Amino acid sequence: MALILNSKKNTLIAHISGDFDLVKANQYREQIDRNLAETMSQNLLLDLAKTTFIDSSGLGVIMGRYRKVKANHGQMIIYGVSPRIRKIFELSGILSLMPVCSSEEAAWKILEENTRKEA
Amino acid sequence: MDKIVNNRIKLEFPSKGENVALARITIAALVSQQELTLNDLEEIKVAVSEAVSNAVIHGYRHQSDGLVTVIGILQGEKLIIEIIDEGVGIPDIEKAMEPAFSTDPERTGLGFVFMQSFMDEVKVESKVNKGTKVTLVKVLSNENKNIAVS
């Protein structure tokens, strides 16, 4: 169970494996925020392919980071969502806030297209 | 292969965030004694996680020295879960259960929405400064049964 962070092209990529609940929410929120600041990344990609469980505490972190990234004129995209997690996303309204796609490749494509549109 | 399982467990633990996973995994192990769908199992885990997180975050305001009690009762296909804290209580239960109501901007206010979406019944009893008891009831579906392996 871990959070792995790396950054490239103005973008922080957060890979979350294991359960994403109350305890992890507090840790991951702090780590993601610190890394967004340190790497001066504007965009955030969230990889949930290895996330085994999420509840409203994990969703709170996602929504909070979304607001933060948006306030900084960046984009947030989620990828690798299992059907189980997608159901939670549907109920929470996250799907109408930000793109949710299948792979990292698809996420980069969306990011680049949106960046081009804005330019 | 229909099996009827009647069982009951009682868990008591301090109000630490780490124990949210403990409670949800224990309840998952209990319900897995009954045949159920993987979907039901996941929904039960989310509902328990929400109720226990509420006890830790709101009931005891993140103080880890409170006592949380979780009782799981399996009566054949009916599952009853009680989550009890002796924390601050909820002054306005109706308001607390409203979607997107949260006292904390980093939270979604979706805890009760998930409990209500995933369980057949959600009952909340609360007294200010006495504590809160949440009762979750679910009838385990017997259609399209993919037996969950625990």
Q: Report, as an integer, the average pLDDT of B53-74.
A: 95
Q: Quick check: B2 pLDDT over 90?
A: no
Within 10 A of A90 (CB to CB), how many other CB atoms are there?
A: 12
Tell me the shortest Cα–Cα distance from A102 to chain B, in angstroms: 21
Q: Quick check: B114 pLDDT over 90?
A: yes
Q: In what order do the strands lie in the sheet with B121-127?
A: B6-14, B67-75, B78-85, B131-139, B121-127
Q: What is the per-residue pLDDT across A37-96, written as a single tens digit (0 to 9) for each?
A: 999 999 999 999 999 999 999 999 999 999 999 999 999 999 999 999 999 999 988 999
Record the pTM.
0.91
CB distance B79 to B44 below 8 Å: yes
Q: Is B24 helix (H, G, I), strand (E, B) or coil?
A: helix
Contact A21 B21 (CB under 8 A): yes
Q: Name the one residue in this structure whose structure tokens are 């059907």.
A: A83
Q: What local confidence, expressed as pLDDT, does residue B1 receive?
A: 45
Within 10 A of A56 (CB to CB), how many other CB atoms are there?
A: 28
Sign of CA dihedral A83, A84, A88, A89: negative
Name all domains of chain A by residue range, CATH numbers in brackets: 2-118 (3.30.750.24)
Whether residue B50 lies in the annotated active site: yes
Q: What is the per-residue pLDDT across A33-48, written as a single tens digit (0 to 9) for each?
A: 999 999 999 999 999 9
Could you give the CA distance from residue B82 to residue B87 in angstroms, rounded to a whole number? 15
Q: What local confidence, expressed as pLDDT, does residue B103 receive?
A: 61
Residues in B touching A22 (Cβ below 8 Å): 17, 20, 49, 53, 56-57
Name all domains of chain B by residue range, CATH numbers in brackets: 6-139 (3.30.565.10)
